[in-house]
Amino acid sequence: MYRKLLPWHIDQKNHTLCIKEVQKRYFEEENITLLNWNVHKNNHNFKWLHDFEQILHYHAPNLIAFQEYKTKSRRSILDNHKKYGYGFFSNIEMYGHDFGLLNAATCTIEEFNPIFSEHLEPFIKTPKINLFTQYKVINNQKITLVNTHLINFVQTKKYLSQIKQIEKLCQHDDKLILAGDFNTWSSKRMNILMSMTKSLGLSQVDFEVDYHKKSYLSHPLDHVFYKGIKPIRSEILKNIKTSDHKPIIVEFITNL
């Protein structure tokens, strides 16, 4: 949909689209490492930037899924990292800043599709987003990353509506990662999510110390699901405190 617009910044009714391309056309590695993180709008904070540089150094993620990501004057911190291209789409514009979802990768985006939730969150009256990006892997196959931040403070039927959007996005992909902040703060919400992932044939990444995830009412909010690939390492970076959510690292084998 937006492929011909790269690499410009476009304002679509106050929802900013930013896309940066890179030279690398596909993932040459068989193993791909994902960083999933709700950054709580702190990604221009000095301490957050230090933490992020440490993550890049020690974990070298090929794929990044950020929620509540903040751009400054329509610029991203990833503009300073030449090996990362990205797609960003905002759901909030406030005080000259844009906030939304960002998918980054060490190869170029093949497909990019942001989809707003049908319903708005109360108080601030803004939608949530599901952000679909697709990339090439070895053997000319494709892998899809769906990054989501699910709607909060609404009736269950409105939550289900955004879940149905994800289901529609994911149903035709052989290799897929679904990651984000799912706001699964109740058993009912978690059951809805698990029912959808089961219908799509998705498996959930397990973590040895799951309680380190961001939780509300004793329910973890952040999850990673997958299909057509295999996780070989998963970790929650529990010592990082520059967001109210912890960074999640998952390494996958893509060439099964």
Question: Each residue of 103-156: pLDDT tens digit?
Answer: 999 999 999 999 999 999 888 888 999 999 999 998 889 999 999 999 998 999
Question: How far separated are the first and last CA of the chain, in Å rounded?
Answer: 30
Nearest to 36 by CA among 167, 146, 136, 144: 146
- The 10s digit of each residue's pLDDT in 76-109 is 888 888 899 999 998 888 777 889 999 999 999 9
DSSP line for 56-79: HHHH--SEEEEEEEEEETTB-GGG
Q: Model's pTM, two decimal places? A: 0.92
Q: Which residue has the tokens 């998918």?
A: 103
Domain that holds residue 41: 3-253
What is the predicted pLDDT for the residue at 215?
Answer: 67
For residue 243, which of 23, 48, 32, 105 has the smallest C-alpha distance? 48
Give me the long-range contacts of 207-213 (CB less than 8 A, separation at least 24).
207/234, 207/235, 207/236, 207/248, 208/234, 209/236, 209/238, 210/236, 212/236, 212/238, 212/246, 213/245, 213/246, 213/248
- Segment 26-39 shows an average pLDDT of 95
1 has a pLDDT exceeding 50 = no
pLDDT band with cut points at 50, 70 and 90 for residue 208:
confident
What does 140-160 look like in DSSP terms, one character per residue?
G-EEEEEEEE---SS-HHHHH
Return the pLDDT at 13. 58
Both structure tokens of 60: 């070298």
Closest residue by Cα to residue 74 from 28, 19, 156: 19
- Strand 127-136 vs strand 9-12: parallel, antiparallel, or unpaired? unpaired
Residue 55: give its domain's CATH number.
3.60.10.10
Tell me, what's the pLDDT at 74? 67
Exposed e or buried b for every residue in 31-47, given b needs 16+ CB within 10 A?
A: ebbbbbbbbbbbbebee
Number of domains in the chain: 1
